[in-house]
Amino acid sequence: MNESFGKSQKLKSKKLIDQLFAEGKHLKSYPLKLVYVPIGNSENPELKTGVSVPKKLVKTAVKRNRIKRMMREVFRKNKYLVNDHLLSSYAFMFIHISREEMTYEKLDRSMKKILESFIEKIGTDEKANQ
């Protein structure tokens, strides 16, 4: 199992980020919100992932950066949950929606819950499209 989070897996494209917020669907599991949108490339399914902590909720840069580091680490450790079920490529954006700084364990539980609900959601969407 590959637990890396390399450059090719990071969401960097401004065009793709704009599409994500314009057309994306979302799921919530406090303190995280997942916004996702399917992207073209279905022959080699992959995830493009970004994390965000709003300045309006977490004022100091030190705390925002710490939360982002923890979110990236939690995703890196749990992305196997989604990679095993992917049939097409997706762009993800995880947004921290809490004013308080969360512990690693709470973020881990929330990430697992949100990824499992994503798997259920895409499973039902793909069955509906067939």
Q: What is the CATH number of the domain that holds 98?
A: 3.30.230.10
Are 23 and 97 a contacting pair, CB within 8 Å?
no
From the list 46, 37, 36, the residue with the least C-alpha distance to 4 is 46
Please report whether residue 93 resides in a domain: yes
Which among 31, 18, 43 is positioned nearest to 97, based on CA atoms?
Answer: 31
Q: Token digits for 5?
A: 């989070």
Q: How many domains does the chain have?
A: 1
- For residue 67, what are the domain limits? 7-129
Task: Identify the three-state secondary structure at position 51.
Answer: strand
Beta bridge partners of 100: none
Q: What is the pLDDT along the chain (130 residues), one digit of tens a residue?
A: 678 888 888 999 999 999 999 999 999 999 999 999 999 876 788 899 999 999 999 999 999 999 999 999 999 999 999 988 888 899 999 999 999 988 999 999 999 999 999 999 988 776 666 5
Is 40 among the domain residues? yes
For 58, phi then psi, to 5°, come to -120, 105
User: Does residue 106 form part of some domain?
Assistant: yes
Query: Does residue 2 sit within a domain?
Result: no
Is residue 64 in some structural domain? yes
pTM as predicted: 0.90
Q: What is the DSSP string of 61-107?
A: HHHHHHHHHHHHHHHHHHTHHHHTT-SSEEEEEEEE--SSPPPHHHH
Domain assignment present for residue 28? The answer is: yes
Question: Is residue 116 a part of any domain in this protein?
Answer: yes
Q: Is residue 60 part of a domain?
A: yes
